[in-house]
A and B are shown apart, each in its own frame.
Chain A
């Protein structure tokens, strides 16, 4: 390689190759894949037993929750690779750009864990009979929730020095924000004075929009706007934060 000619890697340079790397890494984790839908499955069974009329809401919630927990997988993977394997040094001290490292890892995780989520979405279609509009809404909010969660996961991963702490905190964070708010149950059952708060959280905002779309929730226009605009802005802002963060944290101080 000539050293008198500088080729600065373009933004997101190396993305597809690192995505493929992470896909290959994740695809061998059969046990993790097999257990990726346990929480969703248990909650769906509870809803089915306790109130079968809410199963459509719960199925759509399961899709949203699954996309949200992708962030937990990104957090765990990014921290594990950095702390335990120190392989992040191998990749980050190279032409692979930090943002490609973050996004490639997130997308690789997504690709591997997506099929069971699609299966739940198909089940939701069979139960609720989604219109094209609702299906597109499901796709849109799922992408927004994934971007938000993956970005949060990557940023949080840089804050830990010990993997054992991460397992506890990541599980706590993603389960609390993905299960307690009205994701698996209608937002109408949630205290009305606290609704603005949950409508600003990506998973419950996405679930509320879907519940409204299938007629399971009634939201005033301002709440719809709050959820939709909030979700879009948060996804964009968190993604940009993660990109900037990835670039900044390549080098520690």
Chain B
């Protein structure tokens, strides 16, 4: 058996509809996810993340290329893939007229779990998602965040070997999001593999072993969050609220981003002292902090947009 949970090679998807120009959602995506990894797919709206997840989860046919899950061809043998996967769809909602407890339990039963296993996993999953006290309320009476937690609870209860989560924490409060992160870490410790999309870069930073940044259907970069931050040219950023006018003096230190009157310079730690001396000499107020994944993301994707 393959050590990879998922491998795609030159995966392409072109949407065609009558009277409208063809849209290339995936333009040859090659990626791999190893067993037990947590991998995040990042990208702007419409970058192709959901299309990739839908193809990988047997719900959409690719135009060309190949994709395998645990060594099984997703396009040719989807019925062999489905027992190994579970999906939190983007903007998915639980049945409004089921309680979270009923939703999780009946879903596990529909997947073939026995009564006892389904019952115990339901309780465990509800507890992990902080839903125990709402477990017997119809989902229609729950908040949007609680419904989203119900969807995640439904899927993590399966402990499927490969979980696809399309923006799993959207609409959740910070406590609930961290609850999901903890649960996903526990699941990978138990042997599951996770591929998720998110627009919360702090989430990807905290959770993902590896990241793929997708832009207009292509993988721009991949690697760990730290790899990505390093790719920006440094791991520290110096912010100068009145520094935009002095941008040319700072270009030699690294990436410079002017925003209104302000200037942010990405700098390697070994050149920080030199840069700060120049800032002080220029009578500029400067604050130093670590480069965030969001800044690295904006830099990488922004550079790609600028290149076009």
A interface with B by C-beta (< 8 Å): 1, 3-4, 6-9, 13-14, 17-18, 20-21, 24-29, 81, 84-87, 89-96, 100, 104, 250-253
B111 touches A251 (CB 8 A): no
Beyond the given pairs A6-B72, A26-B97, A251-B78, 4 more chain A to chain B contacts, judged by CB atoms under 8 angstroms and listed by A's residue number, are A1-B83, A17-B109, A21-B102, A93-B86
Instruction: Report A-chain residues with C-beta under 8 Å of the C-beta of B98.
Output: 21, 24-25, 28
Contact (A251, B95) CB under 8 Å given A1-B84, A90-B87? no
- Would you list 6 pairs from A and B whose C-beta atoms are within 8 A, ordered by A residue? A3-B1, A9-B82, A86-B93, A87-B92, A93-B58, A95-B112
Contact (A250, B97) CB under 8 Å given A4-B1, A90-B92, A90-B154? no
Instruction: Report B-chain residues with C-beta under 8 Å of the C-beta of A25.
Output: 95, 97-98
Instruction: Report A-chain residues with C-beta under 8 Å of the C-beta of B106.
Output: 17-18, 20-21, 24
Most B CB within 10 A of own CB, among A6, A28, A90: A90
Nearest-Cβ distance from residue A47 to partner chain B, whole angstroms:
35
A95 touches B82 (CB 8 A): yes
Nearest-Cβ distance from residue B118 to partner chain A, whole angstroms:
9
A85 touches B92 (CB 8 A): yes
A250 touches B111 (CB 8 A): no
Complex CA distance for A17 and B112, rounded to whole angstroms: 8
Instruction: Report B-chain residues with C-beta under 8 Å of the C-beta of A26.
Output: 97
B59 touches A28 (CB 8 A): no
Mark out the residues of chain B between 89 and 107 whose CB falls within 8 Å of any chain A CB in the assembled complex: 89-98, 102, 106-107
A89's contact among B89, B102, B138, by CB below 8 Å, is which?
A: B89
B55-94, CB under 8 A of A: which get 1 and which 0?
0011111000000001010000011101111111111111
Instruction: Report A-chain residues with C-beta under 8 Å of the C-beta of B155.
Output: 90
Tell me how many residue pairs across A and B have CB atoms closer than 8 Å.
126
Residue of B nearest to A27 (CB): B97
B20 close to A (CB within 8 Å): no
A251 touches B93 (CB 8 A): no
B161 close to A (CB within 8 Å): yes
A21 touches B110 (CB 8 A): yes
Contact (A87, B94) CB under 8 Å given A94-B82, A94-B86? yes
Contact (A95, B83) CB under 8 Å given A21-B95, A90-B154, A251-B60? yes
Residue of A nearest to B69 (CB): A3
Nearest-Cβ distance from residue B2 to partner chain A, whole angstroms:
9
Contact (A93, B82) CB under 8 Å given A3-B161, A21-B110, A24-B106? yes
Complex CA distance for A95 and B80, rounded to whole angstroms: 9
Complex CA distance for A20 and B65, rounded to whole angstroms: 39
Instruction: Report A-chain residues with C-beta under 8 Å of the C-beta of B91.
Output: 86
Contact (A9, B112) CB under 8 Å given A1-B159, A84-B93? yes
A89 touches B59 (CB 8 A): yes
Instruction: Report B-chain residues with C-beta under 8 Å of the C-beta of A95.
Output: 82-83, 111-112
B160 close to A (CB within 8 Å): yes
Complex CA distance for A6 and B161, rounded to whole angstroms: 13
B151 close to A (CB within 8 Å): yes
Instruction: Report B-chain residues with C-beta under 8 Å of the C-beta of A17.
Output: 106, 109-110, 112
6 smallest A-B Cβ distances: which pairs? A28-B97, A17-B109, A89-B89, A21-B106, A17-B110, A86-B92
B105-143, CB under 8 A of A: which get 1 and which 0?
011011110000000000000000000000000100000
Complex CA distance for A28 and B87, rounded to whole angstroms: 26
Complex CA distance for A100 and B111, rounded to whole angstroms: 11
Nearest-Cβ distance from residue B278 to partner chain A, whole angstroms:
53
A93 touches B85 (CB 8 A): yes
Residue of B nearest to A101 (CB): B110
Instruction: Report A-chain residues with C-beta under 8 Å of the C-beta of B86.
Output: 93-94
